[in-house]
Amino acid sequence: MAFPNISDILATTIESRTRQIADNVTKNNAILMKLEGKGKIKTFSGGSKILQELSFAENTNGGWYSGYDILPVGVSDVISAAEFNIKQAAVPVVISGLEMLQNAGREKMIDLLDARLSVAESTLANLISGGLYSDGTGAGGKEIDGLDAAIPLDPTSGTYGGIDRATWTFWRNQFVDAAAADPTTIQGLFNDLWVQQVRGTDRPDLIMVDNVVWSTYTESLQAQQRFTSPETGNLGFPTLKYMDADVCLDGGIGGFCPAGTAFFLNTDYLHYRPHSNRNMVPLSPNRRYATNQDAEVQILAWAGNLTCSGAQFQGRLDLNA
């Protein structure tokens, strides 16, 4: 006899693992792990869009004075917000009537669900990890507004977060374009991009690279002592150091960083914004039956976006010219 509450087991098994699933997605992604360490993972609870506050100008009342000079106290509009659409992702976990019969015991059913959930978790994690590099146009505009949207190849055009880069220069990322690089030139290109992003203590703290940039940069360090980051290295990410930023490989097998690319990220101005009620959770606790099949399903779901509050502090090196 099939276990009568298979849907309940399916829903409660996902429910009991949701925090673990969200944590595992974060810990298996260098960008999200860095953002978590900076306190830049913040849920939102509602609204038609995700608003990311930002400062776009200095206070015009600031200035020098002497003695009884009149101090200006006019209204100075310096705070605004970028607007980001809520993006959604889901992975259904399905079990057929035959599988219910074949896995009649509770323990057998849980083993089957664990296997299915492990696949669902890794699938959703890969969807989000790939989405973090996207331009937001994938799947008909349903994909995350990732680094390709925040840090494009052309910083002077396009609208990002509802702000037109052609009009607002503060919303343009830094960019270095090179036809190629070798171990003798790669550090010079890094230097050129890094210096454009420094403002006081603001500077890149995470550099995500593909296989080509990683191999070239690594070879440039062969005759030198290599410095790795204990925080990222201890969690299994291949890392080197440039200045005081972690250089992290997102290549190898199944990496997502675009070929010939290095993203110089200042994670103080990047934010991962999942919805508080849709962060790797079952879509609903109710039973879901297929109307024309002998099957039941639960859906592991996520909603949110990657947002930015300082595009000018982000940089991109492209070796594909």
DSSP states along 46-79? --SEEEEEEE-S--TT-----TTPPPP------E
For residue 2, pLDDT over 50 is answered with no
| 142-155 average pLDDT score | 96
Inside any domain, residue 77: no
| 111-122 average pLDDT score | 75
Mean model confidence pLDDT for the chain: 82
Inside any domain, residue 67: no
Smallest CA-to-CA distance from 300 within 109, 24, 37 is with 24
Inside any domain, residue 21: yes
Calculate helix-pair angle for 186-196, 211-220, nearest 10 degrees: 110
For tokens 């609903």, the residue is: 284
Smallest CA-to-CA distance from 3 within 103, 77, 91, 126 is with 103
For residue 76, pLDDT over 80 is answered with no
Smallest CA-to-CA distance from 153 within 165, 140, 144, 138 is with 165
CATH number at 235 reads: 3.90.1690
pLDDT-based confidence at residue 154 (cuts at 50, 70, 90): very high
Inside any domain, residue 248: yes
d(CA 200, CA 206): 17
Please list, residue by residue across 215-225, b when 16 or more beta carbons sit within 10 angstroms of its beta carbon and e when fewer do.
ebbbebbeeee
pLDDT-based confidence at residue 298 (cuts at 50, 70, 90): confident
d(CA 256, CA 127): 10
| 231-250 average pLDDT score | 78
More confident residue, 106 or 206: 206
Sign, CA dihedral 152-154-160-163, equals positive
| Domain boundaries, position 304 | 6-54+84-315
d(CA 249, CA 240): 9
For residue 189, pLDDT over 50 is answered with yes
- Environment class of 205 (CB within 10 Å of its CB; exposed 0-12, middle 13-18, buried 19+): middle
Inside any domain, residue 65: no
More confident residue, 227 or 203: 203
d(CA 127, CA 123): 6
Supply the pTM of this predicted model: 0.82
Q: What is the residue type of 297? A: V
Smallest CA-to-CA distance from 95 within 261, 296, 315 is with 296
d(CA 54, CA 32): 21
For residue 212, pLDDT over 50 is answered with yes
Tally the domains of the chain: 1
| Bridge partners, 308 (sequence order) | 270
d(CA 260, CA 213): 6
| 78-95 average pLDDT score | 82
Inside any domain, residue 34: yes
- Environment class of 126 (CB within 10 Å of its CB; exposed 0-12, middle 13-18, buried 19+): middle
More confident residue, 273 or 19: 273
Inside any domain, residue 49: yes
d(CA 45, CA 277): 7
For residue 214, pLDDT over 70 is answered with yes
**Residue 105 DSSP symbol:** S
Inside any domain, residue 208: yes
